[in-house]
Amino acid sequence: DLLPEQINDRDKENNNLKQYYPYYVYSDAETGRKRYALHISGMGLWSVVKGYLAMEDDLATVAGVAFYDHQETPGLGGEIDRTDFQAQFAGKLMLKEGVVQTFRIIKPSEAQGDSSVHGISGATMTGKGLTAFINSDFAVYNKHFETIRNK
């Protein structure tokens, strides 16, 4: 594992884009359908947040998300590991009609779109951090996924 400072330094050296992270492929034996799990990470408010973003086999639709490591403020940004927050991600679009969408974590009072989820009240800065690294990490993976989609 890299320390938060090492992750930040590495990403800054690469124009804030990770060069490579592995992804995992799950194949359903019955249906033949695949899902892809992408490792995502970046700064929240106080800490590096680590998680997995699962993509459907179209490599455009989010199957789900799981944040597994962070030191965000309990009761505020620390709520990102709650099931009800993470459940909002399923079905959201990272790509629409071949165009990468800007994924956003928005205020609870705003209307959700195809590429946004409601943030946690009092955790605006954590939400901004998640928004930034979800978009930048997907951009890196999408370079590779374009070759898969074109097959």
pLDDT at 143: 83
pLDDT at 23: 86
Strand order in the sheet with 48-55: 23-27, 34-43, 48-55, 62-69
pLDDT tens for each residue of 112-145:
999 999 999 999 999 999 999 999 999 888 888 8
pLDDT tens for each residue of 37-90:
999 998 999 888 999 999 999 999 999 999 998 888 888 888 899 999 999 999
Task: Identify the bridge partners of residue 39 per DSSP, sorted by sequence position.
Answer: 52
Torsion of CA 147, 19, 88, 108, to 10 degrees: -130
* Sign of the torsion angle spanned by Cα atoms 132, 133, 137, 142: negative
pLDDT at 3: 60
pLDDT at 149: 83
pLDDT at 151: 76
pLDDT at 19: 55
Number of Cβ within a 10 Å radius of residue 47: 17
Residue at token pair 């086999």: 57
Give the Cα separation of 72 and 68 in Å (integer): 12
